[in-house]
Amino acid sequence: MSIYEELESNVRSYCRSFPVSFNRAKMSKMYADDGREYIDFFNGAGALDYGHNNDYIKKRIIEYIESDGISHALDLHTRVKGEFLTTFRNLILKPRGLDYKVMFCGPTGTNSVEAALKLSRKVTGRTGIFALSGSFHGMTLGSLSITSGKVPRAGAGIPLTGVTFIPHPHSHPELDTIAYMEELMTDEYSGVEKPAAVFIETVQAEGGVIVLSDKFIRDLRDLCDRQGVLLVVDDIQVGCGRTGKFCSFEQAGIIPDMVTLSKSISGYGLPMALLLLKPEHDIWTPAEHNGTFRGNQMAFVGAKAALEYREEHRLEEKTLKDEALVRKFVTERLLPMDKNLQYRGKGLIHGVDFGRVEIEDAAGLVGKECFLNGLVIERAGRGDCVLKIMPALTIEEDELIKGLEIIEEAMKKVLMGNK
Amino acid sequence: MSIYEELESNVRSYCRSFPVSFNRAKMSKMYADDGREYIDFFNGAGALDYGHNNDYIKKRIIEYIESDGISHALDLHTRVKGEFLTTFRNLILKPRGLDYKVMFCGPTGTNSVEAALKLSRKVTGRTGIFALSGSFHGMTLGSLSITSGKVPRAGAGIPLTGVTFIPHPHSHPELDTIAYMEELMTDEYSGVEKPAAVFIETVQAEGGVIVLSDKFIRDLRDLCDRQGVLLVVDDIQVGCGRTGKFCSFEQAGIIPDMVTLSKSISGYGLPMALLLLKPEHDIWTPAEHNGTFRGNQMAFVGAKAALEYREEHRLEEKTLKDEALVRKFVTERLLPMDKNLQYRGKGLIHGVDFGRVEIEDAAGLVGKECFLNGLVIERAGRGDCVLKIMPALTIEEDELIKGLEIIEEAMKKVLMGNK
Amino acid sequence: MSIYEELESNVRSYCRSFPVSFNRAKMSKMYADDGREYIDFFNGAGALDYGHNNDYIKKRIIEYIESDGISHALDLHTRVKGEFLTTFRNLILKPRGLDYKVMFCGPTGTNSVEAALKLSRKVTGRTGIFALSGSFHGMTLGSLSITSGKVPRAGAGIPLTGVTFIPHPHSHPELDTIAYMEELMTDEYSGVEKPAAVFIETVQAEGGVIVLSDKFIRDLRDLCDRQGVLLVVDDIQVGCGRTGKFCSFEQAGIIPDMVTLSKSISGYGLPMALLLLKPEHDIWTPAEHNGTFRGNQMAFVGAKAALEYREEHRLEEKTLKDEALVRKFVTERLLPMDKNLQYRGKGLIHGVDFGRVEIEDAAGLVGKECFLNGLVIERAGRGDCVLKIMPALTIEEDELIKGLEIIEEAMKKVLMGNK
Amino acid sequence: MSIYEELESNVRSYCRSFPVSFNRAKMSKMYADDGREYIDFFNGAGALDYGHNNDYIKKRIIEYIESDGISHALDLHTRVKGEFLTTFRNLILKPRGLDYKVMFCGPTGTNSVEAALKLSRKVTGRTGIFALSGSFHGMTLGSLSITSGKVPRAGAGIPLTGVTFIPHPHSHPELDTIAYMEELMTDEYSGVEKPAAVFIETVQAEGGVIVLSDKFIRDLRDLCDRQGVLLVVDDIQVGCGRTGKFCSFEQAGIIPDMVTLSKSISGYGLPMALLLLKPEHDIWTPAEHNGTFRGNQMAFVGAKAALEYREEHRLEEKTLKDEALVRKFVTERLLPMDKNLQYRGKGLIHGVDFGRVEIEDAAGLVGKECFLNGLVIERAGRGDCVLKIMPALTIEEDELIKGLEIIEEAMKKVLMGNK
């Protein structure tokens, strides 16, 4: 019995899909203890956009540690926090005309969502939240209340309240979702109180790579403006450049009232989370929301380096180029294999949806086959039936193609071998 | 205007008490940008028990990064996670006869508390929780619901439910608290449903260094056994050796059903959190509670090194020695200054309570004076009137005495100067 | 200042629309203190289906009181309760093949809804309820939670939880409401837990006379069967023969799991309420839900007499005849006045909807004019813009026509006078 | 199988203790179908203070019905409502210097409590309520939330929130309950938000005849004044003269912010309920809380007559005389039978508590024996172990003594027969 089976709680999960022990990793390659090498399309669930142990960032972090730079400082002022803030302002906020305050939350995405929930309620004096079916926002009680998955919701052990789930426009094209939300807000007999905020993911990653259209995002911004409701974009998984632009909502041309950021913000897989909020909503009293690890200094060092790296390596351009490559590959080489396959994607997050394919657990079989052939790739969505292609933004073209080819081979085996 | 004032949310707090920029730190010394040196009695709110940048741990972390050890791996198996688990089993669990499973939560204390809440409810099928007045368990919605502070509770913006606050035995010696809890559980007209669990801090740190007696803890364990209610010890701030023994409940001779650990567990101020749970309660389904940063590998490296360091440097013995020193100093040199001073402490967490002193904000004035004289020290408790003496467990004796003397001088100035 | 203005709370409402003092009433006529006579289309909000002081029932009640029959007996056995139960079984349950147990709740509709909520949750072990937008189920906290009106909901002063409002098929014909409910119940990412029950009014009376189609009711019954969800019909306002058949769901050919009855069940405007429940769901423990006035004996006397009266006077046939008369009158003489008028109705509940008429508060003006001309008539629905035609089922044809003509004249004045 | 067993829900309860069918009743006598006669110490659970079918009231009700007085009128103005209000003002409010507005709620006590909850929250903008352990306030969701019984609470099927139960001073004399409530309201770390209101019963009837001292009631009034918290007296069971004075709080010399009245207010066992509220709190919007049967006109007729009867027959004096008689009888003839008996009472509600008696279900055995010997008497409190002596206020002295003697004989048999 391994130490994991002996000691680790049953709650562990990914290790069941990828049952080897990892040791070393470099950019888009992971190395297992048994010497095998894997291409990484899993990407730390979105936390490793710059690749594993990116040398540019690594160097800065090691220097910082070697210099006995303070490692943990809650919300004290520190040189590296100041430098991160300055860099974030100069490279991200200013060029985009974003006038946000930055809140350092406990260093996890869910903490940032919890802060956004509190502030939404405080700013508006209302309690309700609108979220979309398919949403994933986190596992602590507040975030969980606006997460749509029934299994994690049941885990709460108490009724989760204060949220109204709105049918996602993707699954209900026959319904004018914007008009429906406005009806809920304004119809005196809707049963649903006007909410404090609408929370969205522009691309639902865990939900199965479900993409909101730019038009929908703009119409929602207008609705929120009309009704005095806050718009919160949870950019934890698809912010930091995943969709091309640094912020996933940029392309739609709107400015949310709040933005949650985490996962790849530190650039090195280190725990860190931010909440961006409009200055007029910055009505927190000091310490009203806090957390011991909100001052993870190594993460600040990494985050600053990552933003510089992003500029220097023109990651936005690269992402759009890679997007085209993936789209072409999937469309031309994967989709023709089965007419029931569906495909959605944006930037460097793409989903091949096996939900209507007539082979049981097809996506699971493909995933397993990929792993056997050296590709670590996650699944998402209803029934875990969406193969999620989400490599690091720094992936080399040949690695990207190699990974896609592994998928192609696996799909051939699973889909064609069964025909 | 500094970058902080320009960009950081009003929610920031400690930086208001200690308005300098910190840069470098080593063991119990912090260095500000202006060159000043501070003794650290603040200890990263409990996350730096081994001191800043402890060389033993630092060396391991740098080696790991340099080797391109995987930095972030969710709950995949990794060599360093396996090594941490093995070390934790061998140095902590086995010698204490603790038969626990380990759950890696999102890397913050509050996440561990959220997991404990979920599991308590799942195991018992009940929804209520008992917590003590004065308690602090975190700021995400679940943890916040069992946190006693009215200001943070109001921050939730919605009613916090599912908790019954029990008067702390410290403030109500006239009440038999154990009998009262049992009455709530069993009286058919108490109005209070039998809870899933009782959550305690053996020493309420944020609550103002309020210590539960060993007898109370034992009686509570008996009550929980009698009633089929789980006992959860939140050891986030006073576990990891803060009270002498590694677990704060060891001295009482009991075994909780769950234990939350965070703050100093990584040994280096890196975000990490654990939930210890009894194997018979390990009924999680895979991924039922998860979090991106639950696999902070550098923290695992640090945590293993810290446990080794603790053994090699006999920190338990040292802590008990330091406890005696502090107790003597406070009793002989501080308390005589004002008959209204109160004092509580255990291991290396001590509180001098100015709550009944007749000078307004006396603790605040003392804290400020300490800072001016080179000591970083936090306050806690009602009205922030408890000066919290909580140095690193590795502090040198001369530093400890020096820090205490700074307090003594500050108190003289504030208390005697006003007489 | 009248005694009402001096002493009665601001919460009073109908007396503001009909500002006279009523004294005496007989069948469909009400007499004010000033000697004026009114035709009653208001019908005690549905509690006077047999007319005011129906002689057949009146005689029995007086005899009972004169004989010193017990007036109030909680849930003791009493002769008149036994007689009511026997009559209800013989005249209502048996002929319809309804195998229900009868629960005597506190004597108000809302109490019956509260009992149905509790029992739904107890039977299924689930907490959620589905209700339709536009619904009205009562004003106590449980009933209010499934009532859709925002103003009464806000009156709760705390968030109302445990309910999901479903868009009413009347307002969202583009949505397959049944399929949508099933999606919420089964989609693993819908965010909405499978409910304990779906509560419907077959005709939303307070909601503005919104009629569910028989097909919808049947499809909903099928859905509930498929999903193991209870179907509760709130027949408080439109049961007891209002739609023709005694039970409003009979025409659809389905059998709900529970039925709430109140308002006209006593036949004399006396407080009384029932919950009908399937024997297999009768898992109440004794006194698990109770109420002092659940044994209103005079109401039992009235209720028995009313059921007899209903048979003897063939009220079902009469209602269908009157329905045709009203429908013809409204269609031919009222609707042509304004193309924006809408009309809905069933049995003897009909609504003329002024919601799209371009005159401000047209329904209010019409109502006032009616009252001036001797007709008491209520409004309902969004913006109170639906004139609700709901006379006693015993109304004489000439009174019915007279009342309709008063409406016609009022509408002419309001709609045509403005053109 | 009787019609009850065939058709009535399992929820029925009293009929199980008194398994005969009642038919006729007069003042303090009940007559069963089998011809047996019973003295009534049960009193319709408090709704029959003027006796069954009190001739004075009966005459007025019959006259009213015979005159075709309107029977049901929601909140329309009616002559008899006006007359009730005038009488209530002149005989109750004015002489006591009570400046209250009157709200007619749905005709059940629980409805009045629901209204009081809503208004407390609306007036203060707060959500929490303090209630005492042992309390009973009703069975609809709001009232149930402040009812202490675990069995009925569990019946809700969802967590009941928004209430903090305070240990009753009767069971915790060692605790300064007033100071403890103030601590909860003011201590920043109590975990308990300042409530909207404190709800009390001056005598907990269902709770087992637990009497609050006048001093406690006065101190609580002072506390509420100091803290800006509303004081609500639920006088449903022990108002209307049960404790001697019409209002149970009069003797303590305080004026609550709200008072709930029901049960005996109509004088004839007819459903009726009131909420008394201070004019400055009358911020209801019209119809914000409503209910079909809030205008039970026969109850208004009865209520007016009852108030007159009360004056004419000097019921207050009689009650105090009867109180002395009962107290003497219980003290001298019942208590000496077992040293473990406890006794509490006030006015004409008295409880003999068998809770500490060493015979299993002693109170149940005594109750059964009483019934066999012609006395209907209820039990209350924990384990149903308190025999509740609560005859009509109009009971004749010989009937009262006869009833007490039946109890005496029953106790002799149960307590002495077992010794």
Q: Which of residues 141-170 of C touch B (CB under 8 A)?
A: 158-159
Is some CB atom of chain A closer than 8 A to the CB atom of B13? yes
Q: Give D-chain residues touching A159 at CB under 8 angstroms.
A: 158-159
What end-to-end distance do the CA atoms of chain A give, in Å? Answer: 39
| Contact (CB<8Å) B150/D174 | no
| pLDDT digit string, tens, across residues C372-391 | 999 999 999 999 999 999 99
| pLDDT digit string, tens, across residues B184-235 | 999 999 999 999 999 999 999 999 999 999 999 999 999 999 999 999 999 9
Q: For residue A194, give the chain C residue with the closest CA.
A: C150
- Structural domain span for residue D256: 70-312
**Same domain (yes/no): D299, D340:** no
**Beta carbon pairs, B and D, within 8 Å:** 98
**Same domain (yes/no): C160, C280:** yes
In a domain, B256, yes or no: yes
Is some CB atom of chain C closer than 8 A to the CB atom of A124? no
- Confidence band, pLDDT 50/70/90 cuts, at residue D417: confident
Pick the closest to residue D148 from D130, D132, D162 (CA basis).
D132
**Same domain (yes/no): C212, C234:** yes
| Contact (CB<8Å) C270/D71 | yes
- What pLDDT is recorded for position D418? 54
- Confidence band, pLDDT 50/70/90 cuts, at residue B416: confident
Last residue of a domain, one of C282, C312, C342: C312
What's the whole-model pTM score?
A: 0.97
Is some CB atom of chain D closer than 8 A to the CB atom of C82? yes
Stretch D104-109: mean pLDDT, rounded?
A: 96
Is some CB atom of chain A closer than 8 A to the CB atom of C205? no
**Same domain (yes/no): D78, D44:** no
Please check the confidence at residue B323 and state whether its pLDDT lies above 80.
yes
Stretch D37-58: mean pLDDT, rounded?
A: 98
In a domain, A298, yes or no: yes
**Same domain (yes/no): D87, D51:** no
Q: Which residues pair with B415 in a beta bridge?
A: none
Q: Is D267 left (phi over 0), alpha (psi -120 to 50) or beta?
A: left
- What pLDDT is recorded for position B418? 54
Please check the confidence at residue C106 and state whether its pLDDT lies above 90.
yes
In a domain, B64, yes or no: no
Q: How far apart are CA D368 and CA D360, in angstroms?
A: 14
Q: Which residues pair with B22 in a beta bridge?
A: A78, B32
- What pLDDT is recorded for position A418? 55
Whether B153 contacts A121, CB under 8 Å: no
Last residue of a domain, one of C312, C337, C358: C312
SS3 D386: strand
Q: How far apart are CA C167 and CA B414, in angstroms?
A: 66
In a domain, C363, yes or no: yes
Q: For residue B186, give the chain D residue with the closest CA.
A: D150
| pLDDT digit string, tens, across residues A228-276 | 999 999 999 999 999 999 999 999 999 999 999 999 999 999 999 999 9
Question: Residue D332 carries which side chain, given as an amino acid letter?
Answer: E
Instruction: Mention every residue, 6+ apart, whose C-beta is less than 8 A from residue C46.
Output: C205, C236, C237, C238, C242, C263, C264, C390, D292
| pLDDT digit string, tens, across residues A287-330 | 999 999 999 999 999 999 999 999 999 999 999 999 999 999 99
Instruction: Tell me the CATH number at D116.
Output: 3.40.640.10
**Same domain (yes/no): B233, B369:** no
SS3 B378: strand
- What's the sign of the alpha-carbon dihedral D258, D262, D266, D267? negative
**Same domain (yes/no): D276, D147:** yes
Whether A116 contacts A258, CB under 8 Å: yes
Q: How far apart are CA C86 and CA B49, in angstroms?
A: 78
One DSSP character per residue, C286-321 reads TTSS--GGGGBHHHHHHHHHHHHHHHHTTHHHHHHH
Residue of B185, B189, B206, B210 to mutate for D, most D C-beta atoms under 10 A? B189
* Percentage, residues of chain C above pLDDT 90: 98
- What pLDDT is recorded for position B1? 76
Last residue of a domain, one of D312, D329, D349: D312
Residue of A2, A6, A10, A11 to mutate for B, most B C-beta atoms under 10 A? A11
In a domain, C77, yes or no: yes
**Residue of C128, C153, C174 lying closest to A193 (CB–CB):** C153
- At residue C382, what are phi and psi to the nearest 5 degrees? -50, 130
**Same domain (yes/no): C178, C239:** yes
Instruction: Tell me the CATH number at A339.
Output: 3.90.1150.10
**Residue of B4, B10, B161 lying closest to A284 (CB–CB):** B10
- What pLDDT is recorded for position A416? 87
Token pair for residue D235?
């006088």
Is some CB atom of chain D closer than 8 A to the CB atom of C2? yes
In a domain, B62, yes or no: no
The chains found to touch D (3+ Cβ pairs under 8 angstroms) are A, B, C
Q: For residue D77, give the chain C residue with the closest CA.
A: C21
Residue of B16, B30, B58, B71 to mutate for A, most A C-beta atoms under 10 A? B71
**Same domain (yes/no): A319, A306:** no
**Same domain (yes/no): C152, C263:** yes
Question: Count of domains in chain C?
Answer: 2
Pick the closest to residue C236 from C350, C105, C341 (CA basis).
C105
Q: For residue A59, give the chain B residue with the closest CA.
A: B66
Whether D56 contacts D305, CB under 8 Å: yes
- Confidence band, pLDDT 50/70/90 cuts, at residue A417: confident
- What pLDDT is recorded for position A239? 98
D351 to D209, D371, D418: CA distances (angstroms): 5, 17, 22
**Same domain (yes/no): C40, C189:** no
Token pair for residue C350?
């009909």
CA A152 to chain centre: 18
Q: Give B-chain residues touching D134 at CB under 8 angstroms.
A: 189
Q: Report chain A's mean pLDDT, rounded to a whole number.
A: 97
- What pLDDT is recorded for position D1? 76
Instruction: Mention every residue, 6+ apart, whose C-beta is less than 8 A from residue B27.
Output: B51, B52, B53, B54, B392, B394, B395, B396
Task: Return the beta strands (E) in C146-244 as ranges.
Answer: 163-166, 197-200, 203-204, 210-211, 230-234
- What pLDDT is recorded for position D31? 97
Whether A359 contacts A414, CB under 8 Å: yes
**Same domain (yes/no): B10, B109:** no
Question: How many C-beta atoms lie closer than 10 Å to residue C148's C-beta?
Answer: 25
Whether D89 contacts D118, CB under 8 Å: no
Is some CB atom of chain B closer than 8 A to the CB atom of A282? yes
A368 to A16, A363, A411, D320: CA distances (angstroms): 11, 9, 11, 85
Residue indicated by tokens 């709105």: A166
Residue of C166, C185, C188, C189 to mutate for A, most A C-beta atoms under 10 A? C189
Q: For residue A163, give the chain C residue with the closest CA.
A: C191
Q: Report chain D's mean pLDDT, rounded to a whole number.
A: 97
| pLDDT digit string, tens, across residues D283-326 | 999 999 999 999 999 999 999 999 999 999 999 999 999 999 99
Stretch D211-224: mean pLDDT, rounded?
A: 98
Is some CB atom of chain A closer than 8 A to the CB atom of B281? no
| pLDDT digit string, tens, across residues D72-85 | 999 999 999 999 99
In a domain, C63, yes or no: no
| pLDDT digit string, tens, across residues D11-34 | 999 999 999 999 999 999 999 998
| pLDDT digit string, tens, across residues C160-188 | 999 999 999 999 999 999 999 999 999 99
Token pair for residue A164?
């109204």
The chains found to touch A (3+ Cβ pairs under 8 angstroms) are B, C, D
| Contact (CB<8Å) B44/A79 | no
Q: How far apart are CA D126 and CA D120, in angstroms?
A: 8
Whether C147 contacts C138, CB under 8 Å: yes
| pLDDT digit string, tens, across residues B106-145 | 999 999 999 999 999 999 999 999 999 999 999 999 999 9
SS3 A272: coil
Is some CB atom of chain B closer than 8 A to the CB atom of C287? no
In a domain, C22, yes or no: yes
Pick the closest to residue B175 from D186, D173, D132, D216 (CA basis).
D173
| pLDDT digit string, tens, across residues B33-79 | 989 999 999 999 999 999 999 999 999 999 999 999 999 999 999 99
Q: Give C-chain residues touching A134 at CB under 8 angstroms.
A: 189
